[in-house]
Amino acid sequence: MSIDLATVALLGAVQAWLMAIVLWTSTGSYAGVARASLRIRAVALGLEAAAWVLLGLRGQVGEWLSILVANGVMLVSYAMTVHALRMLLGVPQRRRLAAAVAAAGWLAIAWFAVVDPDYQARVLCATLAVLAYLAMMLLPLSDGLRRGGSSAKRVLLVILTTAMWMLCWRLAEPLLSARPAGGFLASSFVNTAFLMFSAMQPLFTSIGFLLLYNETMQKELKSLARIDPLTGVANRLALVEAAERLLEEATRDGRPLGVLMLDADHFKSVNDRFGHSGGDKVLRAFTASIQRALDGGEVFGRIGGEEFVVLSPGIGLAEALALAGRLRAAVAGMGLAIDGQTLALTVSVGVAAASPGERDVASLLRRADAALYAAKRAGRDRVMVADGDPAQPPA
């Protein structure tokens, strides 16, 4: 039973159009990078569908349409797919390289279609261009092969690697069999297998894109759920998770863990004086001041209200006290102008340190919190250790 390859090509166009609609509508109201990526891929599928229609009508429409326009549109769709996938993966998009591959590939195809007609040379040029695009998509997906890697990346790796092998097989078959190459729609086992896989590829690739989109969405939502919306630093959930992880690492490696609990002094009076919008400005400035004073190896976040936490791995009590003193001085020296009025802000700091082998995160945080309230009871603008002894006199 022979298979009409022109019909296969037209079915490929239908599938590409259907998947374009699915990708475009599946993003809903989400407005992030992932949505933009899927919509670029949807437009690429629309172009791919148009190319499949023109390729399937070869012999019924002019060669300038079925060869020059069809191949040009197909190469543009591949370039857009590379752009969409690399955007979704968060890697450099290489748009100039993708455009250069499309331009060079199309010019070579046009040469061997019009100036020096040679079907096999034309297939070689188109294949090399598509292989370049597949390589640009495969390379950033390769980390999916690691243990615990992305299942969506693995799906796309399988699909794109299969596409690469199918292209190479179709290109090499006339050479290996010593038979002259047939046309695009010539009935042969290789052509049939290649076109049937290519017609299904929009479906396979779109499934991979949707899986990757879902993974990206989950990561972004997880990240957003752990960021304080006002200050942009870690929130309570992220701090607790980080404390558990760092304490586990400290226990495993036999290292200490310093914990600082900070509270902006007399913050209620700031809200009373400047209103909540002014208070928000103060908290953002306070956060920026602390971040500038940190070394970068710490975890810093807002636990609620005007209370913040610093987790500093690898430092004991003495080093934690030195860090607390530096943060206290940074806040005292930052200077604030709110609504044309100067505001002097100070901070109270409670310090605790987990000894090697300690495993109770809640207890460690409670000790730092108790030290913080001891500092506030002692007059604020000072650092206290977990046992309540003053570590630094007031300024």
Write the CATH number for 12.
Answer: 1.20.1070.10
Alpha-carbon distance of 52 to 355, in angstroms, equals 67
Do residues 4 and 58 make contact, with C-beta atoms less than 8 angstroms apart?
Answer: no
Q: Which domain holds residue 304?
A: 236-385
Looking at residue 393, what is its pLDDT?
41
Same domain, 179 and 119: yes
Same domain, 285 and 340: yes
* Beta carbons within 10 angstroms of residue 378's beta carbon: 15
Flag whether pLDDT at 44 surpasses 50: yes
Same domain, 65 and 206: yes
Flag whether pLDDT at 205 surpasses 80: yes
Do residues 46 and 81 make contact, with C-beta atoms less than 8 angstroms apart?
Answer: no
Same domain, 66 and 143: yes
Inside any domain, residue 277: yes
Same domain, 135 and 57: yes
Once rounded to an integer, what is the mean pLDDT over residues 157-174? 84
**117-144 pLDDT per residue, tens:** 888 888 889 889 999 999 999 999 988 8
Alpha-carbon distance of 249 to 264, in angstroms, equals 30
Beta strands in the chain (DSSP E): 257-264, 299-304, 307-313, 336-338, 341-343, 347-354, 383-385
**252-283 pLDDT per residue, tens:** 888 889 999 999 998 888 887 888 888 898 89
Residue found by looking up tokens 């609609």 in the block: 21
Same domain, 212 and 255: no
Same domain, 21 and 73: yes
Same domain, 203 and 322: no
Same domain, 15 and 139: yes
Inside any domain, residue 230: no
Residue 331 belongs to a domain with what CATH number? Answer: 3.30.70.270
Same domain, 264 and 139: no
Phi-psi region of 218 (alpha: psi -120 to 50; beta: other; left: phi over 0): alpha
| Angle made by CA atoms 342, 309, 225, in degrees to the nearest 5 | 100
Same domain, 93 and 242: no
Inside any domain, residue 174: yes
Alpha-carbon distance of 66 to 56, in angstroms, equals 8
Domain count, the chain: 2
**317-368 pLDDT per residue, tens:** 999 999 999 999 999 888 777 777 778 889 999 999 987 778 888 889 999 9
Once rounded to an integer, what is the mean pLDDT over residues 73-83? 94
**230-251 pLDDT per residue, tens:** 998 999 999 999 999 999 988 8
